[in-house]
Every structure is written in C-alpha cells, then in structure tokens.
Amino acid sequence: MKYLHLLISLFRNNLARDMEYRANFFLMVISQVLWVVVQLALISVFFTSSSTIHGWDIYQLFLLVGMYRCIDGLFHIFFYRNLLDFPEIIRTGDLDGFLTKPAGTLFLASTRYQKLNEVGTTLTGAGVVIFSLFHLHYQLSLFLVGTLFISLLAGLTTVYSVILMFSSLSFFLTRMTALEAFWDMLSKTLRVPLDLITQGNSLANALLLPLLIVVTIPAQIITQKISGLFIFLEIPCALVFFILAVRFFNFSLRHYSSASS
C-alpha cells in the first residue's frame, strides 16, 4: 500500500506539471493518434495486391499493431523516460538521492516521471484492438478478455525487463548513449509479426522469445493461429525475465560508485 500511495502521489505531481502546458499536452495526444492512423494506412497499402501476408490478413495485423500500441503507450507513460535516464543519473551521481530514500531504489528510479501525454497511444491502440476484433467477428468472452489482459501485462513486464537489463549496463559503462537507439530498434521490430523472421526455426524462436511473447504470440493465440494453451507460456516467461532483470540491477547496483566517492 505504501508503494501504491507513492505511485499515486507521483502521478498527481506529473499530471499537475503536464497540465501547466495544456495546449502542448493535447497536441501531443493528437499527434500520437494521427501517427497510429498513418501506420494503419501504410499497412493497408501492403494488402492492396494480396489478401494475406504470410498467413496474416489485414485485420489480424491491425490487431497485432493495436496490442503493440497499448503496450508501447503504457511503457512510455510509466517507464520510458526513467529507464533511459539511468545512464545520466548514474554518471552524474544523482542516483545517490534515490539510495537515501525510504523506498526501493529501483521503484523510485523507474517511476518518478510519467509521460502522461502518451495516453493517446494507449487509447488509440485499444481502439484499434476493438476495431480489429469487431471485423474479425469475435464475440466478447471471458477467455478473450483474460487473454488480452494477461498479454498486455506480460508484454509490458517483458519490455520493462529487457530495457532494465540494458539500462543496468550503465553501472559498468562510462557512457551509454546507445540505449535510445536500442529501444528504437526494438520498438520497430515489435510492430511486425516476428514469425515472419523466425519462419518456424526453433533456434530463432528461442533467441527471440522475449520479443515473441510481447505481441506476436498473444496475437497468434487470439487469432487461433496457435493453441490457446500458449497463454500459460507468457506468464512464467515474463516472470523469469523480470526476476533476472531485477537481480541484474541489484548486482549492478553493488558496483555503483557515487559521484562523490
């Protein structure tokens, strides 16, 4: 409950800061909505000469994009700025302040800022998911809602874990400017069905498993390309990645030398 109250307080503080410049806030939301619309329009172009691409029709691909946008929006709202700030707060010694607070260092360093204007990405992604499910003639069911909820939670956890592990390398590297470029590459990769890349190859599936469980596998489950039992693969995999990321962060933290030491 202490961490929940702390998160709510941080949320209120960030919301008050964003509302100081309301025009900018709403322009950012509108630009994110337009960007998703442009992406869907570009996808539609690829289907002008074919009804399917590697077994994916247009609404199945829209579903994948919508789920990715939901996860991407949530990640940007809560974690993006904080994790990409890791190299800077470590280099300058600002991490010292987090170590003295009566709360978990990782929690504070991961959640102190929220980019609330990214809500446009999340809401647009949710709208695309609903639009896709309607055109795929899916009926609302407990399994469908549960699959979507578990998939979003597992996908967000996995993305957070992957970026946290790379951010933690900042404890050992003097300068970590490649982190943003890595996220850009990762986000662009997640926007497409990764089975186009793996082609059913077992080694490729194993290497790309952290990325597969973010969007591709959930979309395949919902569209019945693979068995619904794969939903039980997502939960333990996401937990394993999260535990490994937290342990690596704690290991790295033990090697931290403040700016004053």
Number of domains in the chain: 1
Q: Which of 82-91, 126-135, 191-200 has the highest mean pLDDT?
A: 126-135
* DSSP state for residue 55 in the 8-state scheme: T
Average pLDDT of every residue of the chain: 83
* Mean pLDDT in residue range 147-156: 89
Which segments of 167-252 are extended strands (E)?
none
**C-alpha Rg value of the chain to the nearest Å:** 20
Q: Are 77 and 107 in contact (CB under 8 A)?
A: no
Where does residue 181 rank: exposed (0-12), middle (13-18), buried (19+ CB within 10 A)?
exposed
Residue 209 is part of which domain span?
A: 2-253
Specify if 243 maps to a domain. yes
Q: Is the pLDDT of residue 242 over 80?
A: yes
Specify if 261 maps to a domain. no
Q: Distance between CA atoms of 28 and 124, rounded to whole angstroms?
A: 13
Per-state percent for the chain, helix, strand, coil, to nearest 5 = 80, 0, 20
pLDDT tier for residue 260 given thresholds of 50, 70 and 90: low
- Number of C-beta neighbours around residue 188 at 10 A: 9
Specify if 88 maps to a domain. yes
Specify if 259 maps to a domain. no
Specify if 258 maps to a domain. no
Q: Which of 15-24, 97-106, 138-147, 153-162 has the highest mean pLDDT?
A: 153-162
Q: Are 121 and 64 in contact (CB under 8 A)?
A: no
Specify if 177 maps to a domain. yes
Q: Distance between CA atoms of 250 and 261, rounded to whole angstroms?
A: 19
Q: Is the pLDDT of residue 34 over 80?
A: yes
How much is the pLDDT for 231? Answer: 81
- Percent of the chain clearing pLDDT 70 (strictly above): 95
Condensed to tens digits (0 to 9), the pLDDT of residues 67-125 reads 999 998 999 888 888 888 888 888 777 788 878 877 788 888 888 888 887 888 888 88
Q: Are 131 and 70 in contact (CB under 8 A)?
A: no
What are the angstrom distances between the C-alpha of 224 and each of 88, 106, 197? 44, 38, 19
How much is the pLDDT for 210? Answer: 77
